[in-house]
Amino acid sequence: MMSLSGFQHIMRFRIVSKLEKFGATSKEKAATVEDLGLDMQEQQWLRYLAGAFLGKIKKTEDQRYYV
């Protein structure tokens, strides 16, 4: 069975990959959940990962995300 930290790493990689593929690499180019086509599980992890201290994923005030 995979540890939570391993699963967390996989989800972070999947989400960051989608952000980079979309081109959401700055606040000005940030993307919405709909833009990224995230599934429900990815959306839940995005909310968690975007709030992580010193995390790579950032969130704008209008609910868009970027790396």
Task: Write down the pTM of the prediction.
Answer: 0.86
| Regions of the chain with pLDDT less than 70 | 1-4, 53-54
| CA distances to 10, 21, 23, 66 from 4, in Å | 10, 26, 28, 24
